[in-house]
Amino acid sequence: MSGKTTIYDIAKALNITAATVSRALNDNPKISQSTRKLVLETANKMNYKQNKLALALRSGKSNNVGVIVPRINTNFFASVIRGIEEGLHPEGYQVIICQTHEDEDREVENVNTLLNAQVDGIFMSISNLPKENNHYIERVIQKNIPLIFFDRKKEMKNVSSVTIDDYLASYQTTQHLIEQGCEKIAYFSGDRSLEIYEDRYRGYEQALLDNNIPINEDYIISIKSNVVEGRDAVEKLLTLENPPNAIFSTSDFAALGAIQKLKERGIKIPEDFCVFGFGNEPFTKFMELSISTIDQSPLEMGKMAAQVFLDKINNKKSESKVVLLPKLLIRQSSTRIIT
């Protein structure tokens, strides 16, 4: 009795067949009330639990979905996953999580693993820039398994996506900084071969152009999302002949690093210098000098992604491109003028 009761065990106990047991358990109309009741009672007594694997093999649906993210221990990704989980759990789906650690090979491997596991759908925030090598993504599409990109998407046919309007977020932020009296705005960019970072850059650029501010290439620095890179970037900026008086960082962590370094140099924020982050990491709110940032509504993003998946599964829509509105959180680090 290692605790594995199957419908055959129940059938044997009641001297009927497994088919009847199955029908009873599934509320099949072709069954008498008496046997149904008997089966249900016995199943309960024998502590029967349906083997989802057997079901999955037969039905071709595993009731699992996969989520592929660069890493899970950042607020953003953890929250999106939570959103997906909350959206899908009521429908009986379990979430399988894979991390790529920003590694391209790992991403390919993860996709394959999930396909082997027969997941019913894949949610993914891409880590790399699958140059021409979309092979592994094509395979998902071919197998007709719903694929939903979130945040870091890639424009493709037959693939859904849920993102925020990164262009708008960036445009509005830049506009805000200009309104605060900053015209020399440095920009910390992520890898622009990823669509979101390209969109953000375009927003920044356009806002400057619309305000007749020329683009200064010296102000544009490519960084990775961490504190140290923010510090280093500021150091570089301050050595310029004509240093900036604001930073729009596409990473909250880099924004934090920038603030640290600026303070060390005795530069006053926001009086002398404004800083704006991106992502609404929890710490941005907690700081003594709270950091202005952009909220990407990760929880809603996850829930929306779940909904897109369900719509596809239920044949309501074949493909959706959902774009959420960014929320500018204007806090102390960029507030000179109180309106």
Partner DNA sequence: ATACAAAATGTAATCGATAACACTAAATAG
Partner DNA sequence: CTATTTAGTGTTATCGATTACATTTTGTAT
Nearer to a second copy, 150 or 219 (CB): 150
Nearer to a second copy, 72 or 240 (CB): 72
Nearer to a second copy, 4 or 265 (CB): 4
For residue 112, state whether it binds DNA (rule: CB under 7 A).
Answer: no
Query: Which region, judged by CB under 7 A, interacts with DNA, from 58-66, 220-228, 285-293, 304-312?
Result: 58-66
Distance (Å, whole) CA 137 – CA 126:
11
Pick one of a second copy, DNA, none as the site partner of residue 81 (Cβ within 5 to 8 A by kind): a second copy
Q: Which residues contact 2 (CB under 8 A, 6 or more apart)?
A: none
Cβ at position 283, least distance to a second copy in Å: 4
Q: Which residues contact 147 (CB under 8 A, 6 or more apart)?
A: 121, 122, 124, 137, 140, 141, 158, 159, 160
For residue 282, state whether it binds a second copy (rule: CB under 8 A).
Answer: yes
Report which of 244, 231, 178 is spatially closest to residue 208, judged by C-alpha positions.
Answer: 178
Residue the block writes with tokens 């990109």: 149
Pick one of a second copy, DNA, none as the site partner of residue 17 (Cβ within 5 to 8 A by kind): DNA
H and E: helices and strands count for the chain: 13, 12
Nearer to a second copy, 29 or 92 (CB): 92
DSSP 21: H
Distance (Å, whole) CA 161 – CA 32:
48
Angstrom CA distances, 198 to 25, 77, 335, stand at 54, 20, 27
Angstrom CA distances, 298 to 90, 152, 262, 268, stand at 19, 12, 30, 32
Nearer to DNA, 63 or 222 (CB): 63
For residue 113, state whether it binds a second copy (rule: CB under 8 A).
Answer: yes
Query: Which region, judged by CB under 8 A, interacts with a second copy, from 69-77, 161-169, 237-245, 317-325?
Result: 69-77
Nearer to DNA, 41 or 264 (CB): 41
Alpha helices in 194-251 (DSSP H): 195-210, 227-238
For residue 8, state whether it binds DNA (rule: CB under 7 A).
Answer: yes
Q: 1, 3, 30, 92: which one contacts DNA (CB under 7 A)?
A: 30
Q: 37, 41, 45, 54: which one contacts DNA (CB under 7 A)?
A: 54
Q: Is 193 within 8 Å of 226 (Cβ atoms)?
A: no
For residue 34, state whether it binds a second copy (rule: CB under 8 A).
Answer: no
Binding site for DNA (CB under 7 A): 4, 6-8, 15-20, 22-23, 25-26, 28-35, 48, 50-51, 54-55, 57-60
